[in-house]
């Protein structure tokens, strides 16, 4: 189809046409970036935790008054919790994935460089792997005799005595691959603090850090150190998914019976914890989807309105064309092509703007560069919307009878 | 004449009801979305202490070792116990207060209320006068009580209502972590937002329940929450935070003139140099002295999602406006025949412009008004969101005026442009064409 007549018509409506092009360009630019942002949020919410999320409940306690022998209390609590029917395993850990607080440390593969290579979450607690359901992919778990009480470790560190600090560590595969790419990490040393050496005795599959995913979501290290609830530690209990509610209820009653002088700060399932953790992301993704839909609808209605006007305005010339032998299809294609041209120019402009907006987001929101495939997605959407919107007015134009040519306005 | 124009506009708008509705809706949606997000942004980036914030400063020191040091690096956000106590006791500012947040178990004497975790702020005497905290009953505590680790507590009016039915509870006993505290004051209505002085426990809508001396909290080893950042081999043993290499305290000072601010900066510099000479500090003196609003800006107190939503809404408004201008223009141009007839019959360009402007202005104002209502609905929706700042999202006078300004300028823009374009047609050419 010859597009020259279309171009010459548009030249007579330069201002209106350029407004439509601007609108399509802006819509395209915003939608490309919004879809990219939605993708980012979904990716974030889909993060693999590496733990048996559906089988875990947790209880977070605090003492009301002075603390009795907290470490012994913790051991008694754990023993009691293990006796509950349906409980597979129990741990008292310093932090839990998707929990509010986190304990992190800088680790490096070399003693020399004075810069921390990576920042990793530091998980503590006995039977952590089996309770959380973290998979061991190489090496071994800690032996019972390797565990130390955190109170002893603190006391030793306070005196500068490094011998009482347990020297074994488990790292995630992500840490191992970052520190020793392509090598066997077992037996390798990692250094923490001012150069305390720890030996890697095992490598786990995924174990997500509690939060701050931007620093390397799977950067986690486990140390064989027992904690007590005075350090804000959390009881995590593993059981079958259908038993969770009952186990949690029994556990709370048992813990209260063992020492009534405590408050329950928080309790629930890890599923719930995860849902709460990402609620802001879910809300933001919802808003972005809403904005995209609203933009597409407004733009589509704008195209419908504009096309309707043009069809009505050119009623007579359409009649003349029909009288001179143009088929209905010729008229239909004319308006479809016109819309395609306008949309294409708009999309081309929109791509440039989308790239600009992405650059702005990279600088101000530390977002990654938008992958190229988001551009055709936005373009395709707008072409589709444009063609769908113009179809009605174009069909109306095609239905104009040739006899109109003989009538005056 | 204006009523005639108005009548003309209404007739024209009625002829294309669907289109009119579309244009009004587009403007309304754009303005509604923009005003909702701008209001949230305005609330979140507000000044928590109007009239006072200019003389409140947040000093920072850098006690870290040379690991990860690069010149120009930002010092840690908080102070160590040693530095915080030194700065507090030096009293080089008009007023100064050292603080951190925490959770403390509270056992009401009334058996009807279960024990619960109260949100606490551990601070020092100047906290109340420096931030202009109003009291309903009683006062804050004295410096002597700070030094004496006294068991005194100031409670909020919300807690006073809950425990004492709103009566004057000064002199009553409150049991915190199994110790008896004497209530010395009950706060009045005080809810600064952002929660600037302690931002780790929550940046918005996070009022404390109780305030007590920092020294007392350490004496009783009360739990400190928020952020503890340690370096070296020390570890973060919560029972020995005073001697560990950890930063965990926030320090605010009141400096009434630029000269005293400069003097305080010198003081921080000299202290850093002295500490470095003494071998306690490793790094070259690295200090900051930001005003409160600079500090809030530095810690990026406004959630980045909120800023992003504002940009998104403004982009949406732009699309909606362009859409309306385009439609309006197309509509006017379609009537160029009619307009030329009127021009040929003697209507001046001004009169035609006025008539068209009235038509587009009606659309703009209707859109603006509906937009304002949509913004109220939008803010209501925001308040249903889970975020902690959500319940603060209310429109105030400033934002009301701004909505009005935005609506008027949006409608003018949407009205002027098409009217101006359409009234420039040359009647002769158009008439000939027909």
Is there a domain that residue A338 lies in?
A: yes
**Cβ density class A172-198: b for 16+ within 10 Å, e for less:** bbbbbebbeeeeebeebebbbbeeeeb
Query: B124 and B59 in one domain?
Result: yes
Phi, psi of A268 (to 5 degrees): 150, -170
Q: Pick from B281, B298, B315: which residue ends a domain?
A: B298
Taking CB atoms and an 8 Å limit, are A64 and B29 in contact across chains?
no
The whole-number pLDDT of residue A225 equals: 93
Q: Which residues are within 8 A (CB) of B365 and not within 5 positions of it... i.e. 6 or more apart?
A: B407, B408, B411
Quick one: which H or E segment has residue B225? none
Quick one: which H or E segment has residue B235? none
DSSP characters for B193-216?
A: SS-TT--SS-SSS---SEEEEHHH
Helix (H, G, I), strand (E, B) or coil at A62: strand
Q: Pick from B266, B298, B330: which residue ends a domain?
A: B298
Q: Which has the closest alpha carbon to A207: A46, A45, A49, A99?
A: A49
Rounded Cα–Cα distance for residues A10 and A310 (Å): 10
Token pair 């009683």 is at which residue? B138
**Cβ density class A218-237: b for 16+ within 10 Å, e for less:** bbbbbbbbbbbbbbbbbbbb
**Cβ density class B47-77: b for 16+ within 10 Å, e for less:** bbbeeebebbbbbbbbbbeeeeeeeeeebbb
The whole-number pLDDT of residue A371 equals: 86
Q: Pick from B298, B316, B335: which residue ends a domain?
A: B298
Mean pLDDT, consecutive 10-residue segments, chain B of 434 residues?
82 83 88 89 88 92 85 91 94 94 87 86 95 94 94 95 92 90 94 87 84 94 82 70 87 94 94 91 92 91 87 91 86 80 84 84 85 89 80 81 77 78 71 57
Q: Pick from A193, A223, A253: which residue ends a domain?
A: A223
Phi, psi of B210 (to 5 degrees): -135, 150
The whole-number pLDDT of residue B111 equals: 72
Query: B259 and B154 in one domain?
Result: yes
Taking CB atoms and an 8 Å limit, are B315 and A26 in contact across chains?
yes
- Report how many domains make up chain A: 2
Of B316, B421, B434, the CB nearest to A15: B421
Query: A206 and A114 in one domain?
Result: yes
Rounded Cα–Cα distance for residues B377 and B379 (Å): 5
The whole-number pLDDT of residue A155 equals: 84
Radius of gyration of chain B (CA): 31
Which chain B residues are within 8 Å of A27, Cβ to Cβ?
Answer: 319
- Report how many domains make up chain B: 2
Question: Is the separation of the CB atoms in A231 and A102 below 8 Å?
Answer: no
Query: A219 and A120 in one domain?
Result: yes
Which chain A residues are within 8 Å of B334, Cβ to Cβ?
Answer: 309, 312-313
Tell me the residue range of the domain where A183 lies.
103-126+145-223
Rounded Cα–Cα distance for residues B432 and B429 (Å): 5
Question: Is the separation of the CB atoms in A262 and A63 below 8 Å?
Answer: yes
Rounded Cα–Cα distance for residues A102 and A239 (Å): 25
Quick one: which H or E segment has residue A231? none
Query: A107 and A25 in one domain?
Result: no
The whole-number pLDDT of residue A82 equals: 93
The whole-number pLDDT of residue A109 equals: 85
Quick one: which H or E segment has residue B237? none
Query: B325 and B232 in one domain?
Result: no
Taking CB atoms and an 8 Å limit, are A309 and B330 in contact across chains?
yes
Of B19, B305, B434, the CB nearest to A409: B434
DSSP for residue A17: H
Query: B369 and B268 in one domain?
Result: no
Whole-angstrom distance between the N-terminal and C-terminal Cα of chain A?
29
Helix (H, G, I), strand (E, B) or coil at B105: strand
Of A16, A103, A232, the CB nearest to B326: A16
Question: pTM of this prediction?
Answer: 0.84
DSSP for residue A138: E
Query: B180 and B74 in one domain?
Result: yes
Which chain B residues are within 8 Å of A115, Cβ to Cβ?
Answer: 67-68
Q: Which residues are within 8 A (CB) of B333 and not within 5 positions of it... i.e. 6 or more apart?
A: A13, A16, A309, A313, B421, B422, B425
Query: B81 and B22 in one domain?
Result: no
Instruction: State the CB neighbour count (10 A cutoff) for residue B221.
Output: 15
Which chain A residues are within 8 Å of B421, Cβ to Cβ?
Answer: 15
Q: Pick from A186, A204, A223: which residue ends a domain?
A: A223
Give Dmax (Cα) for chain A: 105
> What are residue A221's DSSP bridge partners?
A122, A171
Substitution target from A70, A231, A305 for chain B, most B beta carbons within 10 A: A305
Query: B292 and B308 in one domain?
Result: no
Query: B25 and B144 in one domain?
Result: no
Q: Pick from A175, A204, A223: which residue ends a domain?
A: A223
Query: A200 and A116 in one domain?
Result: yes
The whole-number pLDDT of residue B288 equals: 93
| Chain centroid offset of residue B128 CA | 21
Query: B248 and B190 in one domain?
Result: yes
| Residue in chain A nearest B313 by alpha carbon | A291
Q: Which residues of chain A have pLDDT under 50?
A: 409
Q: Which has the closest alpha carbon to B414: B1, B20, B18, B10?
A: B20
DSSP for residue A341: H
User: What is the nearest CA distance from B189 to chain A, expressed in angstroms?
Assistant: 27
Q: Which two tokens stand for residue A19?
A: 């407004």
Instruction: State the CB neighbour count (10 A cutoff) for residue B5.
Output: 18
Of A154, A193, A361, the CB nearest to B232: A193
DSSP for residue B127: H
Rounded Cα–Cα distance for residues A365 and B299 (Å): 14
Query: B358 and B279 in one domain?
Result: no
| Chain centroid offset of residue A213 CA | 9
Q: Which residues are within 8 A (CB) of B48 and not within 5 positions of it... i.e. 6 or more apart?
A: B192, B193, B194, B195, B196, B292
The whole-number pLDDT of residue B432 equals: 61
Q: Which two tokens stand for residue B351?
A: 């009169």
Is there a domain that residue A319 lies in?
A: yes
Pairing, β B56-60 against β B288-291: antiparallel
Token pair 């305390």 is at which residue? A196
Rounded Cα–Cα distance for residues A361 and A370 (Å): 10
Query: B241 and B108 in one domain?
Result: yes
Query: B342 and B272 in one domain?
Result: no
Is there a domain that residue A194 lies in?
A: yes
Tell me the residue range of the domain where B311 lies.
2-45+303-433
The whole-number pLDDT of residue A409 equals: 47
């Amino acid at each position: 189809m010859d597009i020259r007549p279309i171009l010459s018509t548009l030249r007579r409506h330069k201002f209106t046409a350029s407004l439509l092009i601007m609108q399509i360009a802006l819509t395209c630019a915003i939608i490309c970036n919004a879809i990219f942002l939605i993708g980012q949020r979904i990716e974030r919410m889909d993060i693999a935790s590496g733990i048996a999320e559906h089988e875990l409940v947790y209880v977070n306690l605090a003492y009301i008054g002075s603390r009795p022998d907290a470490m012994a209390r913790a051991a008694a609590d754990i023993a009691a919790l293990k006796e509950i029917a349906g409980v597979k395993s129990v741990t008292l850990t310093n932090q839990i994935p998707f929990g509010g607080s986190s304990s992190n440390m800088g680790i490096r593969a070399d003693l020399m460089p004075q810069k921390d290579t990576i920042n990793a979450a530091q998980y503590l607690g006995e039977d952590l792997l089996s309770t959380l359901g973290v998979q061991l992919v190489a090496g071994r778990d800690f032996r019972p005799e390797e565990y130390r009480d955190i109170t002893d470790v603190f006391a030793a560190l306070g005196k500068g005595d490094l011998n009482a600090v347990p020297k074994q560590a488990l790292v995630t595969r992500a840490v191992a691959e970052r520190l020793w790419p392509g090598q066997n990490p077992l037996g390798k040393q990692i250094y923490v603090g001012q150069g305390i050496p720890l030996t890697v005795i095992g490598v786990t599959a995924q174990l997500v850090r509690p939060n701050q995913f931007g620093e390397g979501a799977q950067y986690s290290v486990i140390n064989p150190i027992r904690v007590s609830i005075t350090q804000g530690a959390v009881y995590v209990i593993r059981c079958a998914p259908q038993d969770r509610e009952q186990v949690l209820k029994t556990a709370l009653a048992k813990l209260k019976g063992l020492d009534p002088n405590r408050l329950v700060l928080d309790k629930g399932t890890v599923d719930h914890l995860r849902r709460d953790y990402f609620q802001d992301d879910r809300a933001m993704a919802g808003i972005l989807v809403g904005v995209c839909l609203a933009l597409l609808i407004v733009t589509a209605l704008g195209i419908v309105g504009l096309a309707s006007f043009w069809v009505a305005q050119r009623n007579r010339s359409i009649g003349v064309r029909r009288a001179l032998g143009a088929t209905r299809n010729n008229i239909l294609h004319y308006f479809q092509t016109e819309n395609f041209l306008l949309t294409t120019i708009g999309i081309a402009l929109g791509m440039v703007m989308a790239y600009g907006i992405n650059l702005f987001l990279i600088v101000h929101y530390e977002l990654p560069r938008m992958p190229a495939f988001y551009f055709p997605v936005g373009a395709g959407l707008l072409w589709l919307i444009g063609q769908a919107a113009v179809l009605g007015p174009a069909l109306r134009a095609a239905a104009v009878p040739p006899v109109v040519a003989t009538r005056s306005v | 004449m204006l009523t005639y124009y108005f009548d003309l506009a209404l007739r024209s708008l009625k002829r294309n009801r669907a289109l009119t509705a579309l244009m009004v809706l587009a403007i309304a949606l754009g303005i509604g979305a923009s005003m909702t997000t701008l209001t949230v942004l305005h609330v979140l980036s507000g000044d928590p202490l109007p009239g006072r914030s200019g003389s409140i400063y947040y000093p920072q020191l850098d006690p870290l070792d040379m690991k990860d040091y690069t010149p120009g690096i930002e010092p840690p956000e908080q102070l160590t116990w040693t530095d915080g106590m030194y700065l507090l006791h030096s009293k080089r500012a008009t007023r100064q207060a050292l603080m951190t947040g925490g959770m403390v178990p509270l056992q009401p004497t009334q058996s009807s209320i279960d024990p619960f975790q109260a949100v606490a702020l551990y601070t020092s005497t100047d906290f109340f006068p420096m931030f202009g905290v109003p009291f309903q009953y009683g006062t804050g505590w004295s410096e002597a009580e700070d030094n004496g680790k006294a068991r005194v507590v100031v409670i909020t009016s919300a807690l006073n209502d809950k425990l004492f039915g709103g009566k004057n509870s000064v002199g009553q006993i409150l049991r915190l972590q199994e110790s008896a505290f004497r209530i010395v004051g009950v706060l009045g209505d005080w809810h600064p937002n952002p929660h600037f002085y302690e931002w780790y426990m929550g940046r918005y809508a996070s009022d404390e329940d109780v305030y007590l001396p920092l020294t007392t909290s350490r004496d009783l080893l009360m739990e400190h929450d928020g952020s503890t950042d340690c370096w070296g081999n020390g570890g973060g043993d919560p029972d020995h935070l005073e001697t560990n290499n950890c930063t965990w305290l926030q320090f605010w000072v009141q400096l009434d003139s630029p000269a005293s601010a400069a003097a305080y900066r010198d003081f921080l510099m000299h202290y850093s140099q002295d500490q470095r000479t003494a071998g306690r500090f490793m790094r070259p003196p690295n200090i900051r002295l930001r005003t409160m609003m600079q500090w809030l800006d530095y810690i990026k107190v406004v959630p980045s999602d909120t800023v992003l939503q504002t940009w998104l809404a403004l982009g949406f408004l732009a699309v909606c406006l362009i859409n309306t201008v385009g439609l309006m223009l197309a509509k006017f141009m379609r009537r160029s025949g009619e307009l030329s007839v009127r021009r040929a019959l003697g209507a001046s360009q001004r009169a035609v412009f006025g008539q068209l402007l009235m038509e587009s202005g009606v659309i703009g104002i209707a859109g603006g008004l509906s937009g304002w209502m949509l913004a109220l609905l939008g803010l209501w929706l925001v308040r249903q969101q889970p975020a902690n700042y959500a319940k603060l999202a209310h429109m105030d006078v400033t934002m009301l005026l701004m909505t009005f300004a935005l609506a008027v300028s949006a409608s003018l823009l949407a009205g002027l442009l098409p009217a101006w374009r359409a009234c420039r047609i040359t009647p002769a050419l158009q008439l000939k064409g027909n």
